[in-house]
Amino acid sequence: MTHLPPPPADLLRDAALFLDFDGTLVELQDHPDAVAVDARLGGLIDRLSAALDGRVAIISGRPVAGIRALFGDPHFAISGSHGLEVAWPDGRHDRAERPAALDRIVVQMKAFATATNGVLVEEKPLGAALHYRAVPAAEGAARDLATGLAADAGLHLQTGKMMIEVRVAGADKGTALNALMQAPLFAGRTPVFLGDDDTDEPAMIAARDLGGAGVLIGAPRATAATWRLDGVAQTLSWLEAATESLGQ
């Protein structure tokens, strides 16, 4: 379906809530470091976590450490690097092994970025990404480079909004959601996932297959989601209304 209604305010009753970050909770920026978590968003996540007895997690392509830093060492679960690492509220941190090939890949990506004004390299514990939002004309060259690097190293090629990433294989946001749902904190609840990008579709499918639903953030498109919100501003307003509904 491409034309979907907005989610009802009471959707989160008895739910486990899983949230993408960039493009869902904060507006996309030309550089990942330009993003900040303001008082409104930080307070909202705290209230949601309290209302849902802790059943809130962020599932992001960003590394866990990056999400932690933005929220000031929060106490909710975080799945980072597209499901390749998970930080649990009790302090445990599960993470895949970093391949040595990523060091070489970062060097080659940085050389490309130096030669292509406006392209940025994002280094991650388990991957490296080229961002070309500021120079869309570089998309073809960036994709060609990343495709070759991934093939040479036997790593996964991850596409996204105005970016392309080479990362460790074996996980995605769907496997992340499934892993979190097996934890006692989330088990037996109805999963609801909010996300905006193609990388979020595996989590939409996972939530649906577990009896829950996905909420697409952004313009209508083909998706496994059941509901849709227009953008970040509408998402924050809906989450605030849903939090109030949980208290009634």
CATH number, residue 151: 3.30.70.1020
- Segment 63-82, tens digit of pLDDT: 999 999 999 989 999 999 99
Tokens of 11: 């959707």
Q: In this structure, is residue 19 part of a structural domain?
A: yes
Q: In this structure, is residue 90 part of a structural domain?
A: yes
185 and 86 in a common domain? yes
User: Which of 144, 167, 190 delimits the end of a domain?
Assistant: 167
89 and 175 in a common domain? yes
162 and 115 in a common domain? yes
Structural domain total, the chain: 2
Q: In this structure, is residue 4 part of a structural domain?
A: no
Contacts of 243 (CB under 8 A, 6+ apart): 12, 44, 47, 48, 51
158 and 118 in a common domain? yes
- Segment 119-156, tens digit of pLDDT: 999 999 999 999 999 999 999 999 999 999 999 999 99
Q: In this structure, is residue 2 part of a structural domain?
A: no
92 and 22 in a common domain? yes
- Segment 211-238, tens digit of pLDDT: 999 999 999 999 999 999 999 999 999 9
220 and 107 in a common domain? no
158 and 124 in a common domain? yes
176 and 158 in a common domain? no
User: Which of 167, 193, 212 delimits the end of a domain?
Assistant: 167
Q: In this structure, is residue 3 part of a structural domain?
A: no
158 and 193 in a common domain? no
Q: In this structure, is residue 6 part of a structural domain?
A: no
Domain that holds residue 120: 101-167
**Does residue 196 contact residue 23 with C-beta atoms inside 8 Å?**
yes
User: Which of 167, 197, 219 delimits the end of a domain?
Assistant: 167
Q: Which of 164, 118, 115 is nearest to 143 (CA)?
A: 164
**What is d(CA 135, CA 202) in angstroms, rounded to the nearest whole number?**
28
202 and 109 in a common domain? no
Q: In this structure, is residue 39 part of a structural domain?
A: yes
pLDDT at 60 over 90: yes
Give the active site residue among 20, 172, 197, 200: 20
pLDDT at 88 over 60: yes
Q: In this structure, is residue 43 part of a structural domain?
A: yes
205 and 90 in a common domain? yes
**Does residue 83 contact residue 171 with C-beta atoms inside 8 Å?**
yes
- Segment 92-111, tens digit of pLDDT: 999 999 999 999 999 999 99
Contacts of 186 (CB under 8 A, 6+ apart): 16, 55, 57, 180
CATH code at position 84: 3.40.50.1000
**What is d(CA 138, CA 190) in angstroms, rounded to the nearest whole number?**
42
Give percent above pLDDT 90 in the chain.
94
20 noted as active-site residue: yes
76 and 21 in a common domain? yes
**Does residue 121 contact residue 33 with C-beta atoms inside 8 Å?**
no
